[in-house]
Amino acid sequence: MNKTFSHKARKRFGQNFLKDEYIIQKIVAAVNPEKTQNIIEIGPGQGAITRQLLELCQHLDVIEIDRDLVKHLKTIFPDSEKITIHNVDALKFEFCQLASEQKIRLVGNLPYNISTPLLFHILENAYCIEDMHFMLQKEVVNRMASPPGSKAYGRLSVMIQYHCEVQSLFDVNPESFDPPPKVNSSIVQLKPHNTKPVRVKNYASFSHLVTQAFSFRRKTLRNALKNLLTEDQIKSCDVDPKLRPELIDVKSFARLSDLASEQE
């Protein structure tokens, strides 16, 4: 790494630069990239993970919004045959444009301030993604992986698990970053389902119903979904309307949304 480069982390971009070599090696080992795979790194920052990925990959695409960091990355990784640097907002990037006959693999220390909307944007491209390895706030990873009945289970859990198999791999302490964040972090692996565990007739209706349910998570389904389904309709989906949303699994939400979409 270029020791003369000085870059103050920018709060608006959610920048916390990973510096712990042991953690970097663990992340790259978890990804275990093959030479010819389509690897895309989101938020390379100062290139800590990028450098090790380049040693293993034939070519690497990276997405970085900060123009100063882009200049730095071009300085330390000048070989344009090995790396393509996209100076764009990941929230607006069309990931599937980088897919070929091979699906893409995503790696990244995602900005914590936009992690949820970024995850939902990425999931719109799930059909062209093989897997993802992301650094996220530990609380967010817990929510993503939580089963029904746990306190962390919510909208994010349902929507992520509808699209992907979720596995929390290991935690990362704040001291592994510069500057250290005020929260603990975790590495999560997401693998889009080749065949979804459940299909929904209308994805927009599914998303709307799940959002509606967890907007009133302390209420029963009968009350939380009263604008979408009657109590008898909820029962007809083999779901107890007296239960709270946090006790309902993905398949049950799918049945409810299918019925709701028919009513529309």
Q: What is the percentage of the chain residues whose pLDDT exceeds 70?
A: 94
Amino acid at 221: L
Q: What pLDDT does 1 receive?
A: 46
* Structure confidence at residue 178 as a pLDDT band (50, 70, 90): confident
Residue 154: both structure tokens together: 């919510």
CA contacts within 13 A on the Cβ side of 179? 9
pLDDT tens track for 58-107: 999 999 999 999 999 999 999 889 999 999 999 999 999 999 889 999 99
Helical H segments across the chain, by residue range: 21-31, 48-56, 67-76, 115-123, 138-145, 155-163, 203-215, 221-224, 231-236, 250-263
Q: Domain 203-263 is classified in which CATH homologous superfamily?
A: rRNA adenine dimethylase, C-terminal domain (1.10.8.100)
| CATH top-level class of 11-192 | alpha beta
So where are the chain's domains? 11-192, 203-263
* Structure confidence at residue 113 as a pLDDT band (50, 70, 90): confident
Higher pLDDT pick, 179 / 224: 224
